[in-house]
């Protein structure tokens, strides 16, 4: 991986990255074949809907709807949005072990820079791979009804959840009880830093470096730039019934965007086709 992806690289073990890269390259080959066949067919015009082609700047979310994002390889989100605007998010679920689950879990981030970084990483892993960024507007009522578990990095509960999930080990009793009481987890994004979780002898060995971090330069009124540290966060639906309820509550609130074209909106996501242009290849 390129040096600029060193930070993201630490969010999961190397063996999982190899699985992702192999899957991405395989799906890209399948997709490339489909694009070749499409190029040989007569061209068809696609009517623009949903503000397709509009440049993306600030999330145009209705009041009380936080915007969340997830960047994936094109075929992973195929069929996520139907023509009746119902959604199927099953293909976006992760396999375990992850930060909050020994198996599965649906992960989104409210940090756009994280989603953009993952999109860039997909292309570096496989230059011919197409990608999409899913944008989700979640009603606050959904978060209340499913009881969101808010965790900070300093919380012992977060460190234990991260430690035992990543190691695929049985949770302590209090962590199991808390997971059972909540349908969603809001938490920092874990990072292996210089010590993999599998090599730790205790969750107490987790330090502030074991969270995804990025750097950003911020200018003050005198245009003096100061480098600030930003931290990646994620929202995780940890139960099958929680994901099912999310699909119901977010009907007509899920959007597909093109990360290689300034996050422009896909016209009709239910008939989305992978058409990699030169700008997408170089993104």
**Residue-level pLDDT, tens digit, the chain, 283 residues:** 565 666 665 666 666 666 666 666 656 665 665 555 555 554 443 333 334 444 544 446 667 889 999 999 988 898 999 999 899 998 899 887 889 998 889 999 999 999 998 898 888 878 878 899 999 999 999 999 999 999 999 999 999 999 999 999 999 999 999 999 999 999 999 987 666 788 889 999 999 888 988 888 888 888 888 888 899 999 999 999 999 999 999 999 999 999 988 999 998 999 998 755 444 444 3
- pLDDT value at position 70? 96
**106-108 vs 233-237, strand pairing mode:** antiparallel
Q: How far apart are CA 188 and CA 235, in angstroms?
A: 9
Q: DSSP readout, 16-47? A: HHHHHHHHHHHHHHHHHHHHHHHHHSPP----
**184-188 vs 233-237, strand pairing mode:** antiparallel
- pLDDT value at position 90? 87
Check: CB of residue 193 under 8 Å from CB of residue 209. Answer: yes
- pLDDT value at position 280? 41
- pLDDT value at position 51? 43
Check: CB of residue 196 under 8 Å from CB of residue 158. Answer: no
For the whole model, what pTM was predicted?
0.76
* CA end-to-end distance (rounded Å), the chain: 15
In b/e form, how buried is each residue of 191-202, taking b as 16+ CB within 10 angstroms? bbbeeebeebee
């Amino acid at each position: 991986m390129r040096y600029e992806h060193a930070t993201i690289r630490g969010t999961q073990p190397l063996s999982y990255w190899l699985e992702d890269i192999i899957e991405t390259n395989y799906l890209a080959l399948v997709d490339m074949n489909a694009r070749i066949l499409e190029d040989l067919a007569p061209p068809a015009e696609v009517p623009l809907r949903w503000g397709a082609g509009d440049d993306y700047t600030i999330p145009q979310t209705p009041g009380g709807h936080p915007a969340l994002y997830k960047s994936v390889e094109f075929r992973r989100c195929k069929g996520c949005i139907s023509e009746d605007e119902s959604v199927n998010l099953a293909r976006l679920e992760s396999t375990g072990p992850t930060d909050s689950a020994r198996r599965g879990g649906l992960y989104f981030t409210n940090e756009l820079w994280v989603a953009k970084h993952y999109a860039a990483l997909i292309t570096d892993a496989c230059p011919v791979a197409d990608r999409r960024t899913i944008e989700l507007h979640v009603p606050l009522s959904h978060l209340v009804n499913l009881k969101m578990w808010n965790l900070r990095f300093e919380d012992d509960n977060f460190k234990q959840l991260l430690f035992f999930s990543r190691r695929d080990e049985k949770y302590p009793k209090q962590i199991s009880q808390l997971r059972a009481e909540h349908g969603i987890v809001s938490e920092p994004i874990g990072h292996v830093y210089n010590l993999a979780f599998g090599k730790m002898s205790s969750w107490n060995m987790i330090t502030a470096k074991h969270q995804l971090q990025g750097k950003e330069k911020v200018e003050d009124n005198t245009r003096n730039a100061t480098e600030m540290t930003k931290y990646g966060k994620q929202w995780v639906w940890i139960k099958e019934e929680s994901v099912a309820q999310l699909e119901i509550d977010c009907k007509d609130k899920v959007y597909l965007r093109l990360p290689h074209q300034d996050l422009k909106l896909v016209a009709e996501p239910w008939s989305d086709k992978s058409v990699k242009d030169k700008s997408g290849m170089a993104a």
